[in-house]
Chains A and B, each alone.
Chain A
Amino acid sequence: MRKFLAIYSRELRYYFRSITAYAVISIFLVLSGYFFFSIFRFYNVLSLQAIKNNDFSGNLNLVDGVMRPVMGNISVILLILLPLLTMRLIAEEKKQGTFELLLTLPVSDPAVVAGKYLSALTVYAVMLAATLLYPVLLMVFADPEIPPVLSGYLGLFLMGASFIAIGTFFSSLTSNQLIAGVSTFGVSLLFLIIGWAAPLAGPVMSAVLSELSFLVHFESFSKGVIDTKDITYYLFLTGFFIFLTLRSLESARWRS
C-alpha cells in the first residue's frame, strides 16, 4: 500500500508539475464550455419560438435540451483528450529506461498499475469536476432537474474510467507514446461507435454490438436512470483492460 501510494503520488506530481494536466484540463474546459453555451443558446432560441408559437413546449426541458447534448459532446472530447493523459503512463518509462528499475524493485505489478491508473483517473476526476460549473450556472439562471445531471456525470466518469484503462493498456505495449495514444484513440472510438453497426447486423449480432457500445450504455445515465447493468458494463470493461495491462507487464519480462 505504501508502495502504491509512492507511485500514485509521483505520477500525480508529474501531471501537475509538467504542463500536461493543465493543458488537458484547460482544453477540456474550453471545449466543453463552448458546447455548453452554444447548445444553451440554441435551446434558448428554440424555447423562445416555442413560447411564441405555443406548441411543442411540452417536449422541451433543460436536461434533454442542454445537458444531454453537452454530455454527448463531452464524451467525444474525452475520446481525444484522455489518450493524451494516458499515453505516457508506461510507454515513457520504457523509453527512459526507468521501467527496468521499476520491475526490478520489490514492488508488485498490481501496485505499479494501480498507482498509474488511479493517477490518470484522478486528473480526469478533477477535470470533470471543473465542468460542474456549467450545470451550476444553469441552476442560477434556470431550474433544471438535478438527478439526470448527477447520473450523467456518473456515466461520464465511468466512461472515462474505461477510456483510461484502455489507454493504460496500450501504453504498456510500446515505448512509443504516439503509438500508444493513437491506438487508444482508435480502440476507444470503436467502442463508442460500434452500436451504429447494430441496425445493419442480424438480430443476435445486433444485440451483441449494442451491448458493447459505450453510447448505448451511456444513454440511460444521461436520462437520469442508473442501471446496475450499465455500471457493470463500464466496470467490467475497465477491469478487463487493467487485467490485460497486468498480463502485458508480465509478458514484457518474458518476451523482450
Chain B
Amino acid sequence: MIQVEDLSKFYGSVQAVSGLSFEVKKGEVLGFLGPNGAGKTTTMKMLTCYLPPSSGRATIFGFDIMKDSMEVRKRTGYLPEKSPLYTDMRVGEYLAFVARLRGVPGDRISSSVEMSVEACGLGSVFVKSIGHLSKGFQQRVGIAQAIIHDPELLILDEPTIGLDPKQIIDIRRLITNLGKDRTVILSSHILPEVNQVCGRVIILDKGRLVAVDTPDNLREKLRKFRVTFVTAASSGGNVGTQDILGGIGGVTGVRETAREKDASTFRIESAPDRDLRNEIAVRLVSAGVPLFELRSEEMSLEDIFIQLVTEEKN
C-alpha cells in the first residue's frame, strides 16, 4: 500500500533522511524507531505531503506523494509531532472544523465527530475549550482529529510523548484498537512502546534505515551471543565459581553482576547457537557448588537498538 523508494531529504546541507526504501502492507502497524534526530519526523512529513523529498519517490495507495498529493491527503490521517490544536476552539467545534476541511459531507459531519469522540473517549470534554485540557486529553483530541474521516492510513508522530504513564497506557491501547482495521505508522524513540504496539519495526539512525523486521525476528537475527544468568554460591571448595563457569566450552565471558551474603549472580555470554544451561548445571553441581537459579535471557529490543545503532557508527 505504501511504497518508498530511495527517499532523501536535505535541510540546506544537512541530510535528515538518506536513501530510505521500504514498503508497508495494508492493515499493518509499522513503527519507526530511532533516537532523536534519526529522521522519523522528516520521513512522516514527506509521507503526509507537508515536505517534498529532495530525491526519491513514494506512493501511497498508488498515488505519488508529489503529483497526486490531494488524493494522498484525502485518505490519510496525521498527528504531527507538535500537536495541531487550535487552543481557542472547543473540542467538538474543532473536530467538526477538521471534518469539514477533510471533505466529510455536511450530513455526515456530526456522526463522524461522534464516532471519533467515542473512539478517543472525549465525551466528557466535548464542550470544553482545547486550551484548558490536560496534555493527555489534548493528545487524544489530536488523534481524534486524525481519524475523523475514517482514513485508511493513520500516521502518528510520537503519539505518547510528554504524557504521564497512565496516559501513555491509554493512548497505546487506543492505537492498538485503531490498528485493528487500518494501516498505522507511528514513530517513537521508546522501545517497549514499539514492541507492544507494532507488528513491524523500522529502525532509523542518522536518516538511514538500519533494520526492518518484526520485533521477534529482529531479536532473533541480531542476537550476537546468548546471555545466561546463574545464581550460585560464591565458591565451591577451593575453586572460584567464576573460574568454573569460565572453563565451560563455548563460554566467551563471565561477569559477576550481584553478590549477596553467600551467593553471587553471574552473567555468562556464549555463542548464540548453543544453550549451555544443562552443562552449567552439571558442572556446578559436580564441583559441589550449590545452584540457586539458572535462566537464559532474551535480548531486549533495547539491546538490539543500541547494538544496531553503535554498529552503524563503527
Contacts and interface: CB of A to CB of B under 8 A. Distances in A.
A97 B101 contact: no
B50 A107 contact: no
A95 B102 CA distance: 22
Contact of A101 (B51, B78, B88): B78
A141 interface: no
Contacts of A18: 88
- Which DSSP category, helix, strand, loop or mixed, fits chain B's interface? loop
B85 A100 contact: no
A100 B84 contact: yes
A6 B101 contact: yes
A108 B45 CA distance: 18
Contact of A98 (B48, B49, B86, B106): B86
Interface residues on A, range: 20 to 34
A56 interface: no
Interface residues of B, number: 29
Given A3-B100, A104-B50, A253-B51, A98 B73 contact: no
Contact of B48 (A14, A96, A104): A104
A256 interface: yes
Given A10-B97, A96-B85, A101 B103 contact: no
Given A96-B87, A106-B70, 11 more contacts: A6-B97, A18-B88, A96-B85, A98-B85, A100-B45, A101-B78, A104-B49, A106-B103, A107-B101, A108-B70, A253-B52
Interface of B: 11, 45, 48-52, 70, 73-74, 76, 78, 80, 82-89, 97-98, 100-103, 106, 145
25 contacts: A2-B106, A6-B100, A10-B86, A10-B97, A96-B85, A96-B87, A97-B80, A97-B82, A97-B83, A100-B45, A100-B50, A100-B84, A101-B80, A101-B84, A101-B145, A102-B101, A103-B50, A104-B49, A104-B80, A105-B98, A105-B102, A106-B70, A107-B101, A253-B50, A253-B52
